[in-house]
Amino acid sequence: MMAGAGTDETKARKSMQKNILSSGLKAIALLLLVAALAACGGRDELKKGTTDVVKTPGQYDLTVLADKDGQFDLQGATLNAEDLRGHIRYRNETGQPVHTMLLKPGEKQKVTNQHIAGLAGIARDLKVDAFVEDNDGRLKLIQIAD
């Protein structure tokens, strides 16, 4: 009777190991699929949130670079969208208003949808014209949807 119990236990362990392995492989396959879809559709999504520039400003009041994880590089300082918004408010309050701003690709980071979304929110809330130099070097105006 003991020998039979051990065999059943061994079969159960092997079955459980197969299930765990199978679940792990399914999760990896799903992650790869999501990454592939994001890579394919990212460029088109970036273009949907922007329009071609009709009139280019002579200069920009503020220029930021794209940084990792949707953050921005402002003169060497890494800022998230909320910190950048606070910086612009500070400049507006101290007599250095920001009316136009430019987002450019960083040294190590391309402009992503996360950058566009963050900048669009700032532009909408603070009434700033936001421009982006896309990853192909073309200047675009970030569309603001109210």
- pLDDT 10s digits, 27-54: 554 444 444 444 444 444 444 566 666 6
Host domain of residue 42: 1-48
Residues 95 and 30 in one domain: no
Q: Concatenated DSSP letters for 71-135?
A: -EEETTEEE-HHHHHHHHHHHHHTT----EEEEE--SS----HHHHHHHHHHHHHHT-EEEEE-T
Q: What is the pTM of this model?
A: 0.65
Tally of structural domains, the chain? 2
Residues 15 and 30 in one domain: yes
For residue 32, what are its two tokens? 């790869």
Q: What pLDDT does residue 38 have?
A: 45
Pick the residue with more confidence: 7 or 97? 97
Q: What pLDDT does residue 3 have?
A: 54
Residues 70 and 105 in one domain: yes
Q: What pLDDT does residue 9 have?
A: 75
Residues 81 and 114 in one domain: yes
Instruction: Kindly report, residue by residue over 72-108, the tens digit of the pLDDT.
Output: 999 999 999 999 999 999 999 999 999 999 999 999 9
Residues 31 and 89 in one domain: no
| Whole-number average pLDDT of the chain | 79
